[in-house]
Amino acid sequence: DADVTQTPRNRITKTGKRIMLECSQTKGHDRMYWYRQDPGLGLRLIYYSFDVKDINKGEISDGYSVSRQAQAKFSLSLESAIPNQTALYFCATSDYREVETQYFGPGTRLLVL
Amino acid sequence: AQSVTQLGSHVSVSEGALVLLRCNYSSSVPPYLFWYVQYPNQGLQLLLKYTTGATLVKGINGFEAEFKKSETSFHLTKPSAHMSDAAEYFCAVSPTGNQFYFGTGTSLTVIP
């Protein structure tokens, strides 16, 4: 079984719709991250959380929000999706005892029409 | 601000040839450095990392990288390319282990 799972794996939505991407982990890690990947731009950090009560903005948080419902769950929401949010989204986790090592989920491919 | 520069968005090598993927970074403090590999339709997998200590780091699948502080570089090498090495490779830096900054990636093609 995968340690870091993301749902859905693929999603097509329309401009203006609200959408939520979910991430779950069974690794027991305290830290969780959301990234987006665009061709030619690499990965950019959207939000990160060091525990349930801690939420931090990353490089490109505008247009996104997150919720850390439990240590194992970290959701990313697009309140009103727009086409330039079309991207591949990755969740990652790390542990405070080895903060420099991140474990990535398989990604969610999002298309906003 | 932190930045990571990967020279060459596409690199092609012949099977059995040396693989060299270049990465330079800017950081105000000695950072943690990483190389990740991404196969098609998959997430990123850690190849190797430098935190402290020996500057030559060995990773999985025969890859290694050397941290050169004076050159602010962390180039990835493999003596002999294999077809299965074809993938996208990302260099990343983290000054403190809290936030991570990725390069734009290098797509490696291995020619039979």
Digit-coded pLDDT (tens) for B6-65: 999 999 999 999 999 999 998 767 789 999 999 988 889 999 999 888 889 999 999 999
Cα–Cα distance, B10 to B111 (Å, whole number) = 13
Q: Give the CB-side neighbour count of residue B111, counting CA atoms within 13 A.
A: 7
Cα–Cα distance, A42 to A40 (Å, whole number) = 6
| Inter-chain Cβ pairs, chain A and chain B, closer than 8 A | 54
Distances (CA, A) of A4 to A7, A31, B41, B59, B70: 10, 12, 15, 22, 37
Nearest CA among A35, A8, A36, A23 for reference residue A72: A23
Residues on chain A touching B34 (C-beta within 8 angstroms): 100
Contact: A42, B99; criterion CB under 8 Å: no
**Contact criterion met (CB below 8 Å) for A90 and A104:** yes
**pLDDT recorded at residue B1:** 63
- pLDDT 10s digits, A51-93: 999 999 999 999 999 999 999 999 999 999 999 999 999 999 9
Cα–Cα distance, A103 to B97 (Å, whole number) = 13
Q: How many residues does chain A have?
A: 113
**pLDDT recorded at residue A1:** 53
Contact: A100, B34; criterion CB under 8 Å: yes
Residues 6+ apart with CB under 8 A from B12: B108, B109, B110, B111
